[in-house]
Amino acid sequence: MDIADEITKALEEYTDEVKAGIEVASSEVADEAINTLKANSPEGKRGKYSKGWRKKQTKNGYVIYNATNAGLTHLLEKGHAKRNGGRTKAQAHIEPAEQSAIKSFEKKIERVIKK
């Protein structure tokens, strides 16, 4: 074998390790975000909304969604008009979890790459 083949082989192994590390990191960050959302979501009358956070794997990573009341997420996050006039107060719980997940993911990716 010549040096080019050895370099190619080493790069392929490194790439596979990085891909596996990214998959693990994305799953961990998704779980952390779900736990944050469950802890910080408004309870509601029966507590179903805060318990409804789930993750779904896609080809590009994970999607976090609310399985029990998906239509309620935007209304709670941004506020909405009341039936008899006025507006409800926005209860930001998704955006802080998202920002935290982004920072955590960046740190985990840096650790994976530096290995």
* 100 close to 115: Cβ distance less than 8 angstroms: no
Rounded to whole angstroms, the Cα distance separating 53 from 75 reads: 16
Q: What are phi and psi of 95, to 5 degrees?
A: -60, -45
pLDDT tens, position by position, 60-83 = 899 999 999 899 899 999 999 999
List of residues 6+ apart from 105 with CB closer than 8 A: 25, 26, 29
Read off the pTM.
0.83
pLDDT tens, position by position, 18-55 = 889 999 999 999 999 999 999 999 887 777 899 999 99
**Interior/surface letters 61-86, b for 16+ CB within 10 angstroms, e for the rest:** ebebebeeeeebbeebbeeeeeeeee
* 53 close to 76: Cβ distance less than 8 angstroms: no
